[in-house]
Amino acid sequence: MNVLDCIKTRRSIRKYKDKPIPQDIIDKVIKCGQMAPSAHNTQPWAFVVVKDKKKLEKLSQTHQWAPFVKDAQLCIVLCCTKTQEINKSAMHMSVACAAQNMLLAIHNFELGSCWTYVHDLKDSSVEQKVKKILEIPKDIDVICMLPIGYPDQTRSEKEIKSKEEVVHNEKW
């Protein structure tokens, strides 16, 4: 798929078919995450691949926006390993870049996913639940989950704000 078409047609998918995903596709999605830009090329990410249905069920119960995780074939949990760095937010944004690369790769393989946040600066309860379920060390930040499966819903066209609303030339 052309990269521009991929960007324009990617949508959040929350309903999945009960159809296995080949391991080589999973490996390619992860590789795309690894190819993302990162602050000072630190590559501060780590990925926990969850296929176990009991764990997917538990992850789906971590917060109100995650129930569909249980229906995915797998979920990739993106973590930040460089949590003691001076510029922690740059490390988190680097992991977000990896997530975007992975979301585009997922769509390219005709799969679906939905960014499902975990790391919340005001409330760490969701992150603590995910860490407990997956035995993630305390010094690692869990940024988000990407449940993945073959889409079982129609992709609707995305409405975006007009160029005039978002683009400022030379000054605000």
In a domain, 94, yes or no: yes
User: What is residue 85's predicted lDDT score, i.e. its pLDDT?
Assistant: 66
In a domain, 117, yes or no: yes
Question: DSSP label at 151?
Answer: B
In a domain, 74, yes or no: yes
pTM greater than 0.75 (yes/no): yes
In a domain, 137, yes or no: yes
Q: What tens-digit pLDDT sequence spans the chain (172 residues)? A: 899 999 999 999 999 999 999 999 999 999 999 999 999 999 999 999 999 999 999 999 999 999 999 999 999 999 999 876 678 899 999 999 999 999 999 999 999 999 999 999 889 999 999 999 999 999 999 999 999 999 999 888 889 999 999 999 999 9
How far apart are the C-alpha atoms of 18 and 73, rounded to whole Å? 7
Residue 77: give the domain boundaries. 3-153
Q: What is the CATH number of the domain that holds 116?
A: 3.40.109.10
CA 153 to chain centroid: 19
In a domain, 39, yes or no: yes
In a domain, 128, yes or no: yes
Q: Which two tokens stand for residue 166?
A: 């978002």
Q: Which residues contact 25 (CB under 8 A, 6 or more apart)?
A: 109, 111
In a domain, 41, yes or no: yes
Q: Which two tokens stand for residue 130?
A: 């995910």
In a domain, 140, yes or no: yes
Domain count, the chain: 1
CA 123 to chain centroid: 19
Is-contact 140 95, C-beta < 8 A?
no
